[in-house]
Chains A and B, each alone.
Chain A
Amino acid sequence: MNTKTIRLCYRKIIDASATKAWDRQVFDDSYMEYRMQVQNFVQAEQYPLYSDLLQHNPDVARINHMVSGAVIGYLQQLNNIMPDVLNALGRRFLKFNEFKFEIINSHLDNKDKHRISITFYSEPVYWLDTIGQNLLLTGTDQQTDTMLTDLLPLTPYLSIYSLQNQ
């Protein structure tokens, strides 16, 4: 069998339109932390829009890491299972073991401008086959001739992060 080992990644974008409780809490708390931390940087008041500030003070990129702490408590609540990524049966199933938090844009005084993304990186899985728009996946500990699989529909913001040929 020509099996490839892949890691999938899913980029979840959260902005002022968020309605689900988890999304909303991440939105609110990351904005509060953004406002607090951005005041550590020079010109933060002069350029209240994050994208403007970043242009004038590249050092402000460090704030991604600083604000990420605000969402860690919420990530823990996911129990290492990616949100939103559903198999063909409509269930969350994909385990992640790393994440990356990014501020897309924000504003010192205007919460509506706050927009973040959290990218989730899956544990390695075997990519067995492709059926239509679906990836046929199985766990990396599957070795026998009959294996249980998951069918993953490809949806926006879902991608293959790394691939390893066997």
Chain B
Amino acid sequence: MERKNFLKSLMIGAISTPVLLHACKKDDDTVTLDSDDTQATNTGSSTSGCNVAPTETEGPFPTKQPASYVRSDITDGRTGYKLTAQITITNTNSSCAALSGALVDIWHCDAEGNYSEYGGSGMQSTNYQSVHFLRGRQTTDANGLVTFTSIFPGWYTGRATHIHVHVYNSAGKSLKVTQIAFPEGSGSALALVNGYDKGMSNYTYNKSDNIFSDDTAGIQIATVTGSKADGFELAITFGVPA
């Protein structure tokens, strides 16, 4: 009887080997990337004017987990073309002045179209890694700006490529639930990424998307520049009534 075995088995101080559990079986995260430096054209245009962002469903995959996931880089090792997202929040109740101190949650799917942690309320493993990928929360600065580092999202059947956004005031009161759409067309970042390994067959474009099709003014369509080699930069401004 080895005492150290016993300690290993039960006691404080034991070194346990964490079991790697993934959020879901589909989340193997294997896509092929290339280093094409063709710059995206058809980059979308930021809309001017003081508009209230359209309200959208928060979808079946809401963000969670604040304390340990308040962070700017939400990549968590997911494979994909780098995407830097700059989201500016303005206050439509104050002539669209920058809104500082607002909490901004974003979440989106990985290159293969899968979300992290949309499971039920069953038991969760104590392995805390790899289940919160591509979700984050930041607080807007004096210019109303938050910046996230992530990957260019993939897509899944029935939806155009999108990023979920939920804006709260500093006390946690919901100000707006919305989504970011991507510019489309020849040379656009969307076309360059070309749906990663999945391609664009059966892709749902914005005009056919049940969330974005009513956004004829393009308020929800971000400006997206850059290349696969250098990464893409996304910028968008949302007005919220604060």
**Residue interface bits A100-123, CB-to-B below 8 A is 1, else 0:** 111000000000000000000100
C-alpha spacing A100/B84, complex, angstroms? 34
Which residue of B is nearest A40, CB measured? B58
- Surface stretch bound by A, among B170-178, B179-187, B211-219, B225-233: B170-178
B5 touches A142 (CB 8 A): yes
Chain B stretch 96-132: residues in CB contact (< 8 A) with chain A: 103, 117, 119-126, 128, 132
CB distance from A46 to the nearest CB of B (A): 15
B19: min CB distance to chain A, Å: 7
Contacts of A35 in B (CB 8 A): 172
Identify the stretch in A10-18, A61-69, A128-136 within 8 Å (CB) of chain B at 4 or more residues: A61-69
Known: A93-B11, A148-B3. A29 touches B66 (CB 8 A): yes
Chain B residue total in the interface (Cβ 8 A): 39
Cβ-defined contact, A141 with B119, below 8 A: no
Q: What is the bound-complex CA distance between A146 and B5, given in angstroms? A: 12
A140 within 8 A of B: yes
Q: Which residue of A lies closest to B166 (CB)?
A: A40
Partner of B123, one of A29, A73, A91, A98: A98
Check A80 against B174 for contact (C-beta < 8 Å). no
A69 touching B6 by the CB < 8 A rule? Answer: no
Q: How far is A88 from B65 in the complex, measured between Cα atoms in Å?
A: 36
Q: Which residue of A lies closest to B5 (CB)?
A: A141
Taking a contact as CB atoms under 8 Å apart, the answer to whether B9 and A140 are in contact is: yes
Residue from the list B19, B64, B126, B166 in contact with A65, Cβ < 8 A = B64
CB-CB nearest 4 A-B residue pairs? A69-B65, A139-B9, A39-B174, A69-B64
